[in-house]
Amino acid sequence: MLSRQSRPYRLLLPAALLFAASVLSARAAAPVLRIQVRDGADGARLTIASTVPLSFSYDAQPSLLTVTFQTRTSFRILREPFQSRFIRSLGWSRGSESLTMAVSTAIEPYIYVDNLKPDPFELTIDIRPGRPGTPSGAAAPSAASVTPAAGASGAGAVPSPAVGTVTAPVSTAPAAAGAGSIAPTAPGTAAPAAAPLSEGGAGRRTRKIVLDPGHGGLEVGAKGSFGTMEKDVTLAICRKLKTALEKGLSSQVSLTREGDEDVPLDKRAAVANNIKADLFISVHTNGSRRKLAQGSETFFMSLTATDEETRKLAYLENEASRLKGTIADESRDDIQLILWDMAQTAFIKQSGGLAEIIQAELNDLLGTKDRGVKQAPFKVLTGVACPAVLVEVAFISNPDEEKRLTDEKFQDTVVAAVYRGLVKFLKVQG
Amino acid sequence: MSSRPANRSRRPLRPRVLALGLLSVALLVWVVLFYRGGGGEKIRHPEEPAPAAKPSSAVRTPAQTRTVTLYFVSETDSLLHPEGRDIPASGALSEEVSSVLAELVKGSRQDLVAPLPPETKVRQVFVTADGVAYVDFSREIMEAFAYGSSSELAAVYAVVDTLTANFPPIKKVAILIEGLEKETLGGHVDLSRPLPPDASLIAK
C-alpha cells in the first residue's frame, strides 16, 4: 500500500479508486448468509438464506441449539437485528471447515422443526416451547424416536445430494466444543438430544453426574499447616460421593481424575461435555492467607466473562471477511472458548439454583460457618455445558478445619450434604 | 443561455474537483493506513503526560505525589479493605501503575494481609487504548503461595480492583506471568482474558 503513495501523482486517483473498488468487490463477492428471526404467536422462525448450498448438523442442549454448517467458505453474515420472545441471542463462530451458529433460546424446554428449500438455499428453523419427546435421551439419539417432527425435518433437510447433513464427525474445534456436538447418525436428523433436566419422569432416567476432585498430581492445591494437601481431601470426598450417588440415585458418576494425577482444567470440563453430563460438581478445599478464615461456600460461574465474549463475537464477525477461512489455531481456541461460554451461560440460572441448594445442605449438616453462594470466573466452570458448581468444603489453611477435613466422619457428612442437595435439585428440576 | 454560465463555472472547476478528489482519496488512504497501522500495534504505552491534570495536582502536592487506594485482605473477613498510599506522580500511566502494584506487593502498613507474595516483582505494565491494563508479574506470584479459592480471588482482585479504582482509563486487567498468559494462578480464577473489577469483594 505504501507503494501506491509513491506512484506518480496522476496515477494516484485511479490507483486509489481501483484499490477501493477491489476492496469493495472483494467484500461483495463473498457468499452471503442472511439471518432473520421473526416471532410468531407460539414460536420464533429463524430463516437462514445462503447464496451457496450448505450441509449442516444440529446439536440440541437445554436452551442452546447449535447448527454447524460444514463449509470452508468465508461468508458475509448479514443478520437483521431482532427481538424475540423465544430466542435470546445468536452467536457465530468460524472454524476452518465449519461455521457454527449458536442459538440461545429464551424458552426451555423447546422443540425445533426445520424445513429446507434447496435452491436457493433457505433453511427455516421453527423454535417453540415444548418438551422434546425423548424417551431415553441423550446417549443414543435415534432418528425415529427422537425427532418429534421427524417427517418435516427428515424429509426436508436432505432433498438433494447437494445438501445433506455430513455424518462423519468433522474435526472442527467449534463443533466438538459446542457442548459436545456430535453429528447425527442419520442425515437430516434434528436430534433434540440432551434436555436432561427438563424431561418428564424425573428420577427414572439415569443421571450422568461428573465429580471433579480439585487439583491433583504436581498441582497439589492449598496446603494445611499439618501438611494435608487439598488434592488428597478432594479425591477422598469425591470417591465417597460417587459411591453414594451410584447407590442412592443410581446415577452414572464419572470422576475427572481417578487417582493422584494432573488433569488440565479444560479437560475436566471436557469430561462432562463428552458424556453429555447432567451435572458437574467440582470439590475443593479452601485456602486463605488468613489462618482464621473458615467456613463453607459454593461457587458458580460469574457472568462478567460473557459480556466480553459477546463483544468478541461481534469482533470476529467483523473480522471474518479478512480472515478468509484461514483462521489461526489461536483464534480457533478463542472460538472454542466462546462456544463453551455460551453453553455455560445457558446454565447459569440452574447452576445458581444448584449452588443455593447445596450450600443450604452444607449449612444444615456440617456446622461450619456459612460463607454463602458466590459467583467467580473459575476456569474449571467455564465451558461446562450443564449446571455446574464448585464447592469449597472448608478451609484447609485453618488448622481446626484442616483436622476436620481429614476426618472420615466429617467427609461422610460432606458427602451426605451434597447428596441431599443433588436429590433436592433433581426433584425441583424434574 | 442558461448553459453558458454553467459551462463557464464547470470548466475552471474541473482541476479543482480533481484536486479535491485527489486530496480526499489521499486522505482516505492515509486514514486507512493510519487505522491499519494502529490495529497492528494496539498495545501502546500512553507515555504522554496527562495535560491539564498535572499542573493542578502539582499545586496541591508540591512533591509531585498522588494519593492512591490500595486493597488488602483484612484478618476479620475475607474482603478487600482500602488503604491510602502516596506514590510518585510521574504522569505516565504505566509508571504509576507499576508504582501502585509495587506498593501492593510490599503489603499493608496497618495490619491487613498482603494478598500477593512479597517476592513478586512487577515486570512490565502496558495499557491498551481500549482500557485493558496488561500487568506482567514475575513467577513468584504463582510459586510463592499455594492458593485456595479465597486467597486466589484475593490476589487477583486486589490487583484488578486496585488498578480500576485508581486509574479511570483502566477498565479491565489482564494478568501475565513472566510475559506469558497463564490459565490461572493456582487452579481457580480464569486469567485467560482481561477481568473487569468485582466490587462484591470490597468491604462496604
In the numeric block, the cell 473480522 is attached to A319
To the nearest 10°, the Cα dihedral for A21, A24, A27, A31?
-80
Q: Between vectors from CA B142 to CA B137 and to CA B143, what angle results, nearest 5°?
A: 120
User: In the predicted model, is pLDDT for residue A125 greater than 60?
Assistant: yes
C-alpha cell, B110 = 496497618
Chain B hits for A336, CB-CB cut-off 8 Å, are none
CB atoms within 10 A of CB B23: 10
**pLDDT of A147 over the 80 cut:** no
**Whole-angstrom distance, CA of residue A237 vs CA of residue A233:** 6
Q: Which of A7-21, A112-126, A192-206, B113-127 has the highest mean pLDDT?
A: B113-127
Q: Chain B contact for A73, CB < 8 A?
A: no
Residue keyed to cell 480472515: A323
pLDDT at A93: 74
Query: Across-strand partners of A77?
Result: A33
Q: Is A18 on the interface with B (CB under 8 A)?
A: no
Give CA angle at A29 (A28, A32), nearest 5°: 75
The 10 Å Cβ neighbour count of residue A265 is: 23
B180-186, long-range: CB within 8 Å, 24+ apart, which pairs?
B182/B142, B183/A264, B183/A265, B183/A379, B184/A265, B184/A379, B184/B152, B185/B141, B185/B142, B185/B145, B185/B147, B185/B152, B185/B155, B185/B156, B186/A219, B186/A221, B186/A222, B186/B142, B186/B145, B186/B146, B186/B147, B186/B148, B186/B151, B186/B152
A285 vs B16, residue with greater confidence:
A285
Reduced to 3 states (helix: H, G, I; strand: E, B; else coil), residue A130 is coil
Span between the terminal Cα atoms of chain A, in Å:
62
pLDDT at A333: 56
Mean pLDDT for A409-419 is 97
A65-88 mean pLDDT: 81
Residue A396 contacts B, CB cutoff 8 Å: yes
Q: Has residue A385 got a pLDDT over 60? A: yes
| Phi-psi label, residue A134: left if phi above 0, alpha if psi -120 to 50, beta otherwise | beta
What is the per-residue pLDDT across A15-24, written as a single tens digit (0 to 9) for each? 555 555 555 5
What stretches of A130-263 adopt beta strand conformation (E)?
208-213, 252-255
CB contact under 8 A, B146 and A221: yes
Residues of B in contact with A297 (CB under 8 A): 149
Q: Is the pLDDT of residue A162 over 70?
A: no
Tell me which DSSP letter residue A151 carries.
I
Question: What value does the mean pLDDT of chain B take?
Answer: 81
Sorted by sequence, the CB contacts under 8 Å of residue B74 that are 6+ apart come out as B80, B81, B112, B113, B203
Mean pLDDT of A288-294: 89
pLDDT band for position A10 (cuts 50, 70, 90)? low
Q: Chains A, B: CB contacts under 8 A, how many? A: 122
Across the interface, which of B73, B189, B192 has its CB nearest the CB of A376? B189
pLDDT of residue B74: 87
Residue type, A348: I
On average, the pLDDT of chain A sits at: 74
SS (H, E, C) A267-318: HHHHHHHHCCCCEEEEEEEECCCCCCCCCEEEEEECCHHHHHHHHHHHHHHH
Q: Of A54-58, A119-123, A275-279, A336-340, which gets the smallest average pLDDT? A: A336-340
Is A303 near chain B, with CB under 8 Å?
A: no
Q: List the one residue out of A233, A231, A234 whose CA is nearest residue A220.
A: A231
Q: Looking at the predicted structure, is the pLDDT value of residue A345 above 50?
A: yes
Q: What pLDDT, in 10s, does the model give residues B12-38?
A: 556 677 777 777 777 776 765 555 544
User: Does residue B186 sit at the A interface (CB-CB below 8 Å)?
Assistant: yes
Query: CB distance A288–B154 less than 8 Å?
Result: yes
For A48, the 3-state DSSP assignment is: strand
Contact A337 B26 (CB under 8 A): no
Would you give per-residue pLDDT tens digits along chain B (204 residues)?
444 444 444 455 566 777 777 777 777 767 655 555 443 334 444 444 444 444 444 445 456 899 999 999 987 888 999 999 999 998 899 999 999 999 999 999 998 999 999 999 999 999 999 999 999 999 999 987 889 999 999 999 999 999 999 999 999 999 999 999 999 999 999 998 899 999 889 998
pLDDT at A400: 96
ipTM: 0.70
Q: What local confidence, expressed as pLDDT, does residue B71 receive?
A: 96
User: Contact A290/B192, CB-based, under 8 Å?
Assistant: no
**Local structure of B170: helix, strand or coil:** coil
Q: Stretch A115-144: mean pLDDT, rounded?
A: 69
Phi-psi region of A324 (alpha: psi -120 to 50; beta: other; left: phi over 0): left
Average pLDDT score over residue span A168-190: 33
Q: Does A308 touch chain B (CB under 8 A)?
A: yes
pLDDT at A175: 33
pLDDT of residue B32: 59
* pLDDT single digits (tens) A324-343: 344 444 455 555 556 656 66
* Range of weakest confidence among A107-116, A190-199, B106-115, B195-204: A190-199
Q: How far apart are the first and last CA of chain B?
A: 82
- Does residue A7 register a pLDDT over 70? no
- pLDDT given for residue B176 in this prediction: 96
* pLDDT of res. A70: 84
Q: Is the pLDDT of residue A243 over 90?
A: yes
Q: What is the mean pLDDT of residues A223-249?
A: 95
Predicted local distance difference test score (pLDDT) of residue A164: 32
The whole-angstrom distance between B63's CA and the closest CA on chain A is 35
Cα separation, A168 vs A204, in Å, equals 32
Whether the pLDDT of residue A68 is over 70: the answer is: yes
Q: Residue A300: its pLDDT value, please?
A: 93
Would you mind telling me the total number of residues written for chain A in this entry? 430
Q: Chain A within 8 Å of B144 (Cβ-Cβ)?
A: no
Nearest to A378 by CA among A349, A344, A411: A344
